[in-house]
Amino acid sequence: MRSVDSSGAQRIPIDLNQQATTPCFPEVSEAIAGWLTVGGHPGEPGPRGARIRTALERARDQVRWRVGRSDGEVVFTSGATEALDLAIRGSLVPEDHAIVVATEHRAAFSALEASGAEVSVAPVASEGRVDPECLRALVTPRTRLLVCMAVNNEIGVMPDLAAVAAVCAETGVRWCCDASQLAFARLTAGPDLVVVSGHKIGGPQGIGALVLRPGCEVRPQVVGGGQQGGLRGGTLPVALAVGLGEAAARVEDADRVRGLRDALWTRLSEAIGSARRIGSVEHRAPHNLSVCLPGIDARALVVSLADEVAIGTGSACSSGVDRPSHVLEAVGLTGRDLASVLRFGLGRETSSQDVERAAEGVVALAVGSARGGRACPP
């Protein structure tokens, strides 16, 4: 039964699953709407084509600003997955060697496998961070690429980006950094290849970008008609690119959302004594809270709460088949604990009332299940 308010209208669930996707910011939606009926394309002559090219260059500048660059190529893609594919497969040949951190997104592992290159996986500590010296030790004369993200998509942990940058600078290894989840900060470390996603930062779905350091070349994976300097074929979706730029230009109040995140953890940990945080407490994105509730079936709890609160779980789903999260396995979780992890992703519009209501719902179901001797509510 759908949740309704006192007037009988269907109530929208509190959205605490914003590491999966964020709603479009109102100002972003407005910017997109202004381009939906313009028509035209960047290559056409005349004033309309010039206006489109100006808008796209502004969007590129906004994306560059977000990732801490004033120069370099910005290639618009259909999303972060395609941008990762372009960065990884466009950099490697089968004779190369690559290094990937164990907690990277599955899309990175898929692209690495498709490249045919030899791959070494760098382990992480129980807090979810990779040791830069471990990365250095894995470098060989054939090492072409290191894949190390800015913020983990499941546990929110942030590596020592400055140390990773130093390893790459000293060894001459190209660094691909997935910055999709960097929702409340700008990137400052200066990777060679940076992946950006629109719908993770308040922009539209269906648009992402790869930002390349000047002089860093990749082989195109979508050839098409040679658009975007031959790096990615296909007519650009101008409205979506403008929306991505508008979202990239806005960095939200990290301290406010961090305070709400910490309040949520306090409420959960006080009510559920066995609850524990997954990943580094200090080196974590402000909008993420990953919590293990031992003995609780996280997916069943999420389904039971779905009408009231949207929350993520720690399991990955591929083709409709659940499988344990490789990220949680990498930080040492085993057995039933792998199925007992909740991921909370807060956003710009999250309020203290949202956090309290979400905590109440989780606590009621978790405590009730424990008292009833069940792993989860029916």
Check pLDDT > 90 for residue 317.
no
Please tell me the predicted confidence (pLDDT) of residue 115: 98
- Are the C-beta atoms of residues 297 and 375 closer than 8 Å to each other? yes
What six digits make up the tokens of 109? 């592992």
Measured CA to CA, the distance from residue 58 to residue 238 in angstroms comes to 11
- Are the C-beta atoms of residues 226 and 110 closer than 8 Å to each other? no
Measured CA to CA, the distance from residue 283 to residue 46 in angstroms comes to 50
- Are the C-beta atoms of residues 18 and 156 closer than 8 Å to each other? no
Check pLDDT > 80 for residue 238.
yes
| Domain boundary, last residue among 208, 225, 248 | 248
Is the domain of 218 the same as that of 270?
no
Mind telling me the catalytic residues?
A: 317
| Domain boundary, last residue among 248, 276, 294 | 248
> For 38-64, what is each residue's pLDDT tens digit?
999 999 999 999 999 999 999 999 999
Check pLDDT > 90 for residue 138.
yes
Check pLDDT > 70 for residue 191.
yes
Residues contacting residue 8 through CB under 8 Å, at least 6 positions apart: none
- The SS3 call for residue 345 is strand
CATH number of the domain encompassing residue 338: 3.90.1150.10
Containing domain of residue 214, as a range? 26-248
Is the domain of 236 the same as that of 257?
no
**Number of domains, the chain:** 2
Quick one: residue 230, left, alpha or beta (phi over 0 = left, psi -120 to 50 = alpha)? left
Is the domain of 318 the same as that of 221?
no
344 belongs to a structural domain? yes
Is the domain of 313 the same as that of 351?
yes
Is the domain of 210 the same as that of 272?
no
| Domain boundary, last residue among 199, 220, 248 | 248
For the four alpha carbons of 349, 242, 197 and 248, in that order, the dihedral sign comes to negative
291 belongs to a structural domain? yes
Q: Quick count: other Cβ atoms within 10 Å of Cβ 97? A: 18
pLDDT band of residue 314 (cuts 50, 70, 90) is: confident
| Element at 16 (helix H, strand E) | strand 14-16
Is the domain of 154 the same as that of 49?
yes
Share of the chain above pLDDT 90, in %: 87
Measured CA to CA, the distance from residue 264 to residue 343 in angstroms comes to 12
56 belongs to a structural domain? yes
Please tell me the predicted confidence (pLDDT) of residue 306: 94
Is the domain of 261 the same as that of 242?
no
Largest interatomic CA distance in the chain: 71
Is the domain of 151 the same as that of 278?
no
- Are the C-beta atoms of residues 103 and 157 closer than 8 Å to each other? yes
1 belongs to a structural domain? no
7 belongs to a structural domain? no
CATH number of the domain encompassing residue 197: 3.40.640.10
226 belongs to a structural domain? yes
The pTM assigned to this predicted structure is 0.92
4 belongs to a structural domain? no
Is the domain of 213 the same as that of 325?
no
Check pLDDT > 50 for residue 319.
no
Higher pLDDT, 370 or 261: 261
181 belongs to a structural domain? yes
Cα torsion for 149, 22, 82, 118, to the nearest 10°?
30
Check pLDDT > 60 for residue 76.
yes
